[in-house]
A and B are shown apart, each in its own frame.
Chain A
Amino acid sequence: MTALLFCLLACYTAGILLPPCLPGRPKAQNVLANGLAIAASLFGVLLGLAGLLAAAPLTASISSTLPFLTFAVRIDPLAAFFVLTISLAGLAVSIYALGYLTEFYGRSSIGLMGALYNGFLLSMTLVVIADNGFFFLIVWELMSLVSYFLVVTEHEKSEVRYAGLFYLIMTHVGTAFIILTFLIFFQEAGSFSFAAFRHLEQPLPEGLRTLAFLAALVGFGTKAGIVPLHVWLPYAHPAAPSHVSALMSGVMIKTAIYALLRVYFDFLGGQFPWWWGFTILAVGAVSALLGVMYALMEHDLKSLLAFSSVENIGIILLGIGAGMTFQAYGLKEFAALGLLAGLYHTINHALFKALLFLGAGSLLYATHTRNMEEYGGLLRRMPWTGFCFLVGSVSVAALPPINGFVSEWLVFQSLFLGFHLPVVLLNLILPIAAAMLALTGVLALACFAKAFGLSFLALPRSAHARHAEEIPVAMRLGMGGLAAACVFLGLAPMVVVPLLDRVTEPLAGVSIEGRVLALDGWALAPTNVEFSSISTPAIAVMLGALAGLGLLLAWAFGGRLRKRAYKTWGCGINLTPRMEYTATGFVQPIKRIFSTLYQPTIKLETEFLEESHYFAKHRRFEFHIEPVFQKYLYDPVVLFFSAVADRLRIVQAGSLHLYLAYIFVTLVVLLLVAV
C-alpha cells in the first residue's frame, strides 16, 4: 500500500511538473499530462481497493519545521472509499481529456491546464487522506485555488471571470467556517493531529459541540452546494472546461461529504442529539427538491447538470441524515444502512454525473454551444455520445436497473424505517422527507427526459446541430468506461455493499453486510426479506426478457406485413424543427404549478402592422425565473459591503504622499502608545 501511495504521489507530481517543460508542443503536453493522470488514478483505484480491504489503516507522516504542521496521511476505509471514488472518476475523465483537450490547442496553454488538472486530482486525493488539521486546510485551500484557476481557463469571457470570482468568494467564506471548526477541536486537543481530535482528553462542552456541528455544516456545505449555499455551483461548474466540470461536480463536492462524515462520526464520535440528524435531513430534502426544480428550468445543459448536483448532494445528505437520526437513538443497524445508502449514492453520483458532464462536453465539442434549444436530432449524428448520455440520464433519474436506482432505493428504505424511532415527531418527519425525495425523483425524471429528448431526438434545431460530428475515440472511451461502471454498480450490489460495509462499520459500530445482502447477494433487503427487498439483476433479466418478448411478438405477427418507408406524417405539412417542443415549452406545466417558487417573469411584446391590429409584425417573448436566493439573500449582503467599501474609498486618494503619511502617522501614534 505504501508503494501504491508513493507511485500515486510521484505520478501526480510528475504530471504537475513535466507538462509545462515542453512549451510549444501542445500534443506532447496533452499526452504527458493525461497519461500521467491516468497512471496515477490507476494507482489510486488500487490504493482505494487495498485500503478498503486492509485490516488496519495505513499511516505515514513527515514532520515539518512549522509548528503544529505534520504532513500526516492515514488511509482508513472511509478515506480509501473516497480515494477510490476520486480515482475512478479521474481515470475515465483523464482518458476523455486526451481527446477533449484538442479543442483547446492554440487557445489556452495545454501545459498549464495539464499541470493544474493533475494538481487538482492530487489535492483532492490528499484532502481525503490527510490526517492533520493544518495539512488538511492547506490541501483544501489548494484544491479550491487550483479549481478556481481551472474554472477561469477561458478568462477572456466576462461571464467566466464572474463565475470564478463568485466561486472564489464563496469557497473562502466556507473555508473560514472550516477553520473555525478545526480551531474548536484544536483548542481542546492542543494539537492539529486528527488522532488528537478523535481522542480528546475531556469531551467538548455541549455548546462547543453544537458550534462545531454548525460551522462544519456551513463550511463544508458551501463546497458541497447545499441550499442556500449552492448559488456558486451553477455559475462555476459550467464555466470550467467540461472535463474539469465533470471532476468538480462529480468528485470535488464529495470531498465535503467526506469531511462532514469525518467530523460528525469520527471526531464527534457519533454521539448526537436528535436535532442534528433532523437538520441534515431537512437540508438534504430542501437541497434535493430545490436543486431539481431549478435544474428543470435551465436551458444551458451544463447549468442543468450543476443544479442536478445540488439535488444529488441533497439525496446523499438524506441518507446520512437518516443515519445520524438513527444513531442518536442507538439504532445502529439502521444508522449503518442510512450511511451505506448515502455513500452508495456518493460513488454513483460521482460516476453518472461525470458521465453526463462528459456528455455535455462532447455536445459542446461537436456543436460549440451549451444552449439546449440549439441541439436536437443528435442521436443520429453522435450515436456513441447519445447512448452514453442515455445511460447517464437513466441513472440520474433513478430508473431500474442501473446504479442511481439502487442507491436511491436504499435511501428510501432507510427513511421508511423511521417508524422504529421512539419519537412521534420523527416518525412523521422521515416519511415526509421520503415524500419530498419521491417528488424529487419524479422531477429528475422529467428533467432528464427533457435533457436527453431535446438534445438527441427529433430534428436538428440549428446549423450547429445539423453539422455535428461524432467525437474522437479517446472521448468515447472515457464515456463508455463510465457508462459501463454505472451499469456494473447497478447490477452488482453484492460486490459494492460488502465494500461499503467496511466503511460504515467503524462509523456506526456494526456490520450489516449479512443482513442487507439476501439470497447470496442477488437481492438487497434492508431489514429482512419480508419488509422489502429488491434484486437488480432480476429486474434486468425481466426487462431484457420483456424487450425480447416484444421483438418476438413483432416478428411473429408483424413480420409478414408489407413495409413501406415514408417520412413522419405531419398532417400534410412538411416537418420543420419549428414544430418541435422547445425546452421552455417542455417545462411549462411544471412552471405553472410551482409558479410561487419560480416567480416567473413573462413578457410578450407585440408590434402590430399600422393598418390593422389583427396582424402582428414582430413578437418578442421574454421569460425568466427569479433567482430567489440571490435576490433576497445574497444581493443585500453584497449591497451592504459595496456601500461600506464606497465609504472607505475616500481614504484611497491615489496619492503617494498621502499613503506615506498614513504609514508615518500610524508609526508615530503606535510609538506614542507604546511608551
Chain B
Amino acid sequence: MFQISPQLGSQLVDLCAALLLLTCFAIVAQRRLSACVDLFALQSVFLAATAALVAFLTGIHHIYVAAALTVVIKAVVLPRILKKVIERLNVSRELQMNINVPAGLLVCGTLVILAFYITQPIIPLGFLLTRDSLAIALAIILIGFFTMIARKKAVTQVVGFLVMENGLFLGATAAAYGMPLIVELGVFFDVLVAGLIIGIYTHRIQDAFDSVDTSKLTVLKE
C-alpha cells in the first residue's frame, strides 16, 4: 500500500474539484442538449473520482460505496434516461435562452467569486484536507441553480437540478467527509426517482404545450 502525503492529497482533491467546476462552465456554454447530458455524466465521473480519492486518503470505506453509486446512477442511468427523453421529444438544441451564453458565463464567473468570498471566513476554521473544495461546491450549487433559471427547456433544467445535487454531494464530502451512508443512499434514491418523474413530466409538458419550453407554463396562471 503506498502512501500519499496529506499536502499532495489535498492538492489532488482540489484538482478534481476544479475539474468539476470546469464541466459546470462547459454545461453553461453548451447549447446542444445531448452534449449537456454528456457533460453532466463526465462531471459525475469526476465527482466519483473525488469521492474515491477522499475515501482512499481518509480510509473511510463507505465513501467508496457512494462513489460507486455515483458512477452507476449519475454517470450511466440518469444520462441514459435523459438521452431517451431528448430522442423522443426530438429537441436537440436550445436556441432561445433567458440569458445568452456570454452573459451567462460572466454571471457564473461572478458566482464563483461570490462563493469564494462567502466561504472565505469558514474555510480556515476547518481541519479536513478537503476543506478548500467547499468554496467550489458552493459555486457548483449556485451555477446549477443559475442554469435552471437561464435555460428554458425542461431537459436542461433537469441537468441544472442534477448539477446542484452534485454540488451538494461535493459540499458534504468537503465539509464532513460525506454524509452517513444511509443518508447517502436515500439521496441517491431520491435523485433517481426525481430523474424518472421529471422525465415523465417533461413528456406531459410536451403533450400539453407541444413544447418543452417551461416559460409556456405561464399560461397556467389564471
Using a CB–CB cutoff of 8 Å, the interface residues on chain A facing chain B are 652-657, 660-661, 663-664, 667-668, 671-672, 674-675
Contact = CB atoms under 8 A, between A and B. Distances in A.
9 contacts: A654-B221, A655-B217, A657-B148, A657-B214, A657-B215, A660-B145, A664-B149, A672-B118, A675-B121
Given A657-B152, A667-B142, 12 more contacts: A654-B217, A654-B219, A654-B220, A655-B217, A657-B148, A657-B215, A660-B148, A661-B149, A663-B145, A664-B145, A672-B114, A675-B117
Nearest to B142: A668
Contacts of B3: none
Interface of B: 98, 114, 117-118, 120-121, 142, 145-146, 148-149, 152, 214-215, 217-221
Contact of A675 (B118, B148, B152): B118
A666 to B, nearest CB: 11
From A652, A657, A668, name the one whose CB has the most chain B CB atoms within 10 angstroms: A657
B12 to A, nearest CB: 28
B118 A654 contact: no
B114 A656 contact: no
A653 B98 CA distance: 15
A31 B128 CA distance: 67
Given A653-B221, A657-B214, A667 B98 contact: no
A655 B117 contact: no
A667 B148 CA distance: 14
Contact of B146 (A654, A664, A672): A664
A656 B145 contact: no
A655 B215 contact: yes
Given A653-B218, A654-B217, A654-B220, A668 B114 contact: yes
Contacts of B146: 664
B98 to A, nearest CB: 6
A657 to B, nearest CB: 5
A392 to B, nearest CB: 47
A214 B118 CA distance: 48
B141 to A, nearest CB: 9
Contacts of A652: 221
Given A656-B215, A657-B215, A675-B118, A667 B221 contact: no
Contacts of B217: 654-656
Nearest to B152: A657
A674 B118 CA distance: 8
B149 A657 contact: yes
A654 to B, nearest CB: 3
Contacts of A672: 114, 118
B106 to A, nearest CB: 15
Contacts of B215: 655-657
Contacts of B221: 652-654
A663 B218 CA distance: 18
A149 B64 CA distance: 52
B145 A655 contact: no
Given A672-B118, A675-B117, A675-B118, A667 B145 contact: yes
B145 A671 contact: no
Contacts of B148: 657, 660
9 pairs of A and B residues whose beta carbons are closest in the complex: A654-B221, A654-B218, A660-B149, A656-B214, A671-B118, A661-B149, A655-B218, A664-B145, A657-B149
A319 B28 CA distance: 75
A649 to B, nearest CB: 10
Contacts of B149: 657, 660-661, 664
Contacts of A671: 114, 118
A652 B221 CA distance: 9
A391 to B, nearest CB: 52
A672 B114 CA distance: 8
A671 B221 CA distance: 31
A668 B40 CA distance: 24
A656 B152 CA distance: 9
A621 to B, nearest CB: 39
From B149, B152, B215, name the one whose CB has the most chain A CB atoms within 10 angstroms: B149
From A655, A656, A661, A674, name the one whose CB has the most chain B CB atoms within 10 angstroms: A656
A660 B215 CA distance: 12
A672 to B, nearest CB: 7
Nearest to B145: A664
A671 B142 CA distance: 11
A376 B91 CA distance: 72
Contacts of B142: 664, 667-668
Nearest to B111: A668
A408 B114 CA distance: 74
Contacts of B121: 675
Nearest to B99: A657
B118 to A, nearest CB: 5
Contacts of A664: 142, 145-146, 149
A664 B146 CA distance: 8
A652 B220 CA distance: 12
Contacts of A667: 142, 145
A663 B215 CA distance: 17
A163 to B, nearest CB: 23
A656 B218 CA distance: 7
A528 B99 CA distance: 90
B154 to A, nearest CB: 9
A647 B215 CA distance: 23
A360 B220 CA distance: 44
Contacts of B214: 656-657
Contacts of A656: 214-215, 217
A314 B21 CA distance: 71
A657 B157 CA distance: 10
A668 B145 CA distance: 11
Nearest to B217: A656
A668 B108 CA distance: 13
A672 B220 CA distance: 34
A476 B178 CA distance: 70
A408 B87 CA distance: 81
Contacts of A657: 98, 148-149, 152, 214-215
Nearest to A656: B214
A675 B135 CA distance: 13
A65 to B, nearest CB: 20
A93 B215 CA distance: 55
Contacts of B118: 671-672, 674-675
A17 B145 CA distance: 45
Contacts of B145: 660, 663-664, 667
A671 B217 CA distance: 30
Contacts of A655: 215, 217-218
A668 B219 CA distance: 29
Nearest to A661: B149
Nearest to B219: A654
Contacts of A654: 217-221
A655 B218 CA distance: 5
Nearest to A652: B221
Nearest to B115: A671
B161 to A, nearest CB: 10
From A652, A655, A672, name the one whose CB has the most chain B CB atoms within 10 angstroms: A655
